[in-house]
Structure 1
Amino acid sequence: MSRADLLYRETCARILREGVWDTDQSVRPRWADGSPAHTVKCFGVVNRYDLQEEFPLMTLRRTYWRSCVEELLWIWQKKSNNVRDLGSHIWDSWADESGSIGKAYGYQLGIKYRFPEGEFDQVDRVLYDLKHNPASRRILTSLYNFADLHEMALYPCAYSMTFHVSGNRLNAILNQRSQDMLTANNWNVVQYAVLVHMLAQVSGLVAGELVHVIADCHIYDRHIPLVEQMLELEPYPAPEFRLDPAVTDFYAFTPDSVQVENYRYHPFSARIPVAI
């Protein structure tokens, strides 16, 4: 059975069993009816995914992995902050009338900085170091630019990636300040697992371990019945992952470069309310 599902079940069960409620506090998120969106949460959750062992795609319910890849490339490849460059509508609630989400996500990755070796943005610096300085302990990105936070529609949730080369394996740590377990957990895991596979391939490496570090790991109050239903299900085996081996340039990847085969998942017809 899928290890990603087992980790998901363990994390959700721990939150429901040991988590702390924020109902005694004033919270920013609101439901569509204006009610405060409270959560039960745990601090400092760490989940590890061996990408050589399996592709961490949830089977307890369907994760729309192709949309995950499209959003990943929107941020990391297009370095865009405009929802009109994205096929899905998941960011529409945070966009202004022009489609912009402000100086967030892709905007930050596209800012160029001057180094002794030349001018790089954050993505190009990672690509350069993976090829030329793989032993470096400084290969990382950060979206959390304090100077620009006031011009972001949403502070970045998954805000930092740290890359580490061990032998021929590319490992990575994804740091996340906040995680909505029902709507976004597996979405983020799938995205960054794909990113590690892509960066490894174009750097002559193989994907190793993805470590997901979550500061505030929570379940929203109105999501609890849905999560409890999922915890009663038995996971299916993990699907098979394929990345087009002909692609050697990160900027040549497309959503069609990624294939997932034998993906079985449990039906999930419930509408998930989203707190804004």
Structure 2
Amino acid sequence: MKEVLSLWQKRETERQENRMSYADKVFINMCRDIIENGTSTEGEKVRPKWEDGTAAYTIKKFGVVNRYDLSKEFPALTLRRTAIKSCVDELLWIWQKKSNNVHELKSHIWDSWADENGSIGKAYGYQMQVKHQYKEGMMDQVDRVLYDLKENPYSRRIMTNLYVHEDLHEMNLYPCAYSMTFNVTKEEGSEQLTLNGILNQRSQDVLTANNWNVCQYAVLLHMFAQVCGMKAGELVHVIADAHIYDRHIPLIEELISREPLPAPKFWLNPEVKDFYDFTPDDVRLEDYETHPQIKNIPVAI
């Protein structure tokens, strides 16, 4: 009887785990690893400061790599809600509007880095709208990616880069998520191509930005895949310096103590065939059940 009960409990545990959001599992494991095995910058010379002027120290891990299979699940946390429309609005601000002016963005996330005219300098969207000379003609980075995905899908040179050294002195902040590399594969027996991507990030504030960035670039892969007649595959997220700020540790501890819920279903308007026609309203998370949001998160500048 005990063996039967033990087997039932094991299967029930497996069923519950399979219902959990995979993104939650990745996030919980990453945060525990940082807290338990990371290194502290306390007492060292650090740039960020809290609003009261004190140094903002972190616990950090070098070289964190997380993988998400977008064909199986959309990687939105359920431990707390990720505002998908705001994520997409910011994503399109950079990749579609190619803007560096916060007045063209609905949220106020970037206001601290903007000048009196709303500009963040030659950062992010500015780099996306700069045209470069290619053999095929003048194109910006976004148009080059879309061109290659349609004309040269097996190219190993499909990538973007926002970390332009000659312009760093004119950026109000250096790009954190700075590079996307796209790679196309095809499953055996299938005619449809699969679009995969690697997001490279030099630095990440795990509490405030991790799932925000993951959801943004998951959406971008879905959008690019749709307009190029492909399906979304893997998103690989590489973070050189994944850190938790000292004042965020209690908030992270609370967050990762929560029970993960089932992942939401992702909907992208199938009528949109041109990347430049997408709006935040073309993206939706259905059956998105989450725990309460964590409020009053201090942000280091």
TM-score normalised according to structure 1 size: 0.99
Structure 1: gaps (5+ residues): none
| Mapping 1:154-233, distance limit 5 Å | 154-167=173-186, 168-233=193-258
| Mapping 1:60-209, distance limit 5 Å | 60-167=79-186, 168-209=193-234
Please give the secondary structure, in 2, of the residue aligned with 1:228: helix
Higher helix share: 2
**CA positional deviation for 1:269:** 4.2
Q: Is 1:27 equivalent to 2:46 in the alignment?
A: yes
Please give the secondary structure, in 1, of the residue aligned with 2:221: helix
For residues 83-141 of structure 1, give each alpha carbon's deviation from its aligned partner in whole angstroms, at most 9, with x where no partner exists.
00000000000000000000000000110011111110000000000000001000000
Q: Is 1:51 equivalent to 2:70 in the alignment?
A: yes
For residues 22-46 of structure 1, give each alpha carbon's deviation from its aligned partner in whole angstroms, at most 9, with x where no partner exists.
0131100000000100000000000
- What CA RMSD, in Å, does the superposition of the two structures yield over aligned residues? 0.6
CA distance in 2, matches of 1:50, 1:33: 41
CA distance in 1, matches of 2:285, 2:291: 16
For residues 226-267 of structure 1, give each alpha carbon's deviation from its aligned partner in whole angstroms, at most 9, with x where no partner exists.
000111111110000000111110000001111111101101
For residues 50-89 of structure 1, give each alpha carbon's deviation from its aligned partner in whole angstroms, at most 9, with x where no partner exists.
0011000011011111100000000000000000000000
User: What is the identity, as a one-letter code, of the residue corresponding to 2:45?
Assistant: S
CA distance in 2, matches of 1:212, 1:198: 18
CA distance in 2, matches of 1:153, 1:36: 20
CA distance in 1, matches of 2:112, 2:135: 41
Equivalent pairs counted in the alignment come to 276
TM-score normalised according to structure 2 size: 0.91
User: What is the identity, as a one-letter code, of the residue corresponding to 1:105?
Assistant: Y
Q: Identity over the aligned pairs, expressed in percent?
A: 67
User: What is the identity, as a one-letter code, of the residue corresponding to 2:41?
Assistant: D
> Which of 1 and 2 has greater Rg?
2
Runs of 4+ in 1 over 4 A off after TM superposition: none
User: What is the identity, as a one-letter code, of the residue corresponding to 1:21?
Assistant: S
CA distance in 1, matches of 2:46, 2:82: 28
**CA positional deviation for 1:212:** 0.0
